């Protein structure tokens, strides 16, 4: 059985840059063509055993993918400051909406140029989408053989955004966070967006990879980056309330990263 690596790519965590580093270690035929939840759902309904053929699987598929593999893969993921990640997600949505004629989630307000992050927080599906999004990527499991519905009982496309916007975890916050931490601690590699260059160093050391590309340096984002105006105290409080479990997971991930990074440094020979 070929060893498998799964890059659990949480959106808006600089994962696209990291993915370039990871995929450079594999030939194209070794990389699974399935990279989003909808494609995974289609493959599962066709023949889930196809997944076992690829040494590398990478994409926005959360932890649900892991149970579909014959053996537990070596998992890679990145986490980001949850407020900064949520703002980045909002900006991404705004950019895409300006090129669309159809309102996402059926909410016409999102097509307006003056749509704000407060609108994002006020609308139930988008608020539920961003609520502890990183924790749910690790702790919420989906059965992709079944059909999920929106709040009105209509079947939804099994895309990650739709699934997170219209489903609940059915778990207490305590259990949800505990599961996310437990799974994160078992991952082969956990990186931090705000420490991207160091994360690539640790990734290279962990897997013994040669990284030939120039790794971009990413500065930690300010809380208001990309917004038309600074966050109000009320808006910041709303974002923090929606991402309180993510904040705890992010702190745990930073501790995990620092421990592993320091172990890596201690094993580096001192130049003579």
Residue 166 near residue 150, CB atoms below 8 Å: yes
Where residue 175 falls (left for φ over 0; alpha for ψ -120 to 50; beta otherwise) is alpha
How many angstroms separate the CA atoms of 193 and 212, rounded?
20
Q: Write out the two tokens for 251.
A: 């702190």
For residue 19, the SS3 value is helix
Pairing of strands 189-192, 74-79: parallel
1 CB-near residues (< 8 Å, 6+ apart): 52, 70, 71
Tell me the per-residue pLDDT of 163-200, one tens digit each, with 9 for 90 and over: 999 999 999 999 999 999 999 999 999 999 999 999 99
pLDDT the model gives residue 21: 92
pLDDT the model gives residue 213: 54
pLDDT the model gives residue 110: 78
Count CA atoms closer than 13 A to 202's CA, side-chain side. 25
How many angstroms separate the CA atoms of 87 and 253, rounded?
20
pLDDT the model gives residue 226: 63
Q: What is the CATH number of domain 5-266?
A: 3.40.50.300
Domain borders along the chain are 5-266
pLDDT the model gives residue 218: 45
Strand order in 5-8's β-sheet?
56-59, 5-8, 74-79, 189-192
pLDDT the model gives residue 124: 93
* Cα–Cα separations (whole angstroms), residue 151 to 119, 155, 195: 19, 10, 39
Pairing of strands 189-192, 5-8: unpaired
- DSSP 8-state class, residue 2: -
Q: Which residues of the chain have pLDDT under 70?
A: 1, 98-103, 105, 212-229, 268-272
């Amino acid at each position: 059985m070929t060893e498998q690596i799964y890059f659990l790519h949480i959106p808006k965590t600089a994962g696209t840059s990291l993915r370039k580093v990871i995929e450079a270690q594999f030939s194209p035929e070794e990389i699974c063509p399935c990279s989003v939840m909808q494609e995974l759902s289609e493959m599962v309904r066709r023949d889930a055993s196809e997944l076992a053929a690829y040494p590398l699987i990478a994409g926005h598929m959360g932890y649900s993918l892991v149970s579909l593999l014959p053996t537990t893969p070596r998992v890679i993921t990145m986490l980001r400051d949850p407020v900064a990640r949520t703002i980045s997600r909002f900006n991404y949505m705004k950019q895409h909406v300006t090129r669309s004629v159809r309102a996402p989630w059926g909410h016409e307000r999102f097509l307006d140029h003056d749509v704000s992050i407060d609108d994002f927080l006020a609308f139930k599906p988008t608020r539920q989408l961003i609520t502890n999004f990183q924790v749910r990527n690790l702790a919420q499991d989906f059965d992709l053989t079944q059909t999920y519905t929106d709040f009105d009982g209509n079947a939804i496309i099994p895309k990650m955004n739709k699934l997170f916007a219209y489903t609940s975890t059915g778990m207490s916050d305590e259990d949800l966070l505990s599961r996310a931490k437990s799974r994160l601690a078992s991952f082969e590699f956990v990186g931090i967006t705000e420490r991207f260059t160091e994360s690539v160093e640790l990734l290279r050391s962990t897997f013994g990879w040669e990284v030939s590309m120039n790794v971009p340096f990413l500065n930690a984002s300010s809380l208001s980056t990309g917004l038309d105006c600074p966050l109000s105290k009320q808006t910041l409080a709303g974002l923090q309330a929606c991402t309180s479990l993510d904040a705890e997971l992010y702190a745990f991930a930073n501790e995990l990263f620092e421990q592993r990074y320091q172990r890596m440094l201690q094993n580096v020979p001192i130049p003579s």
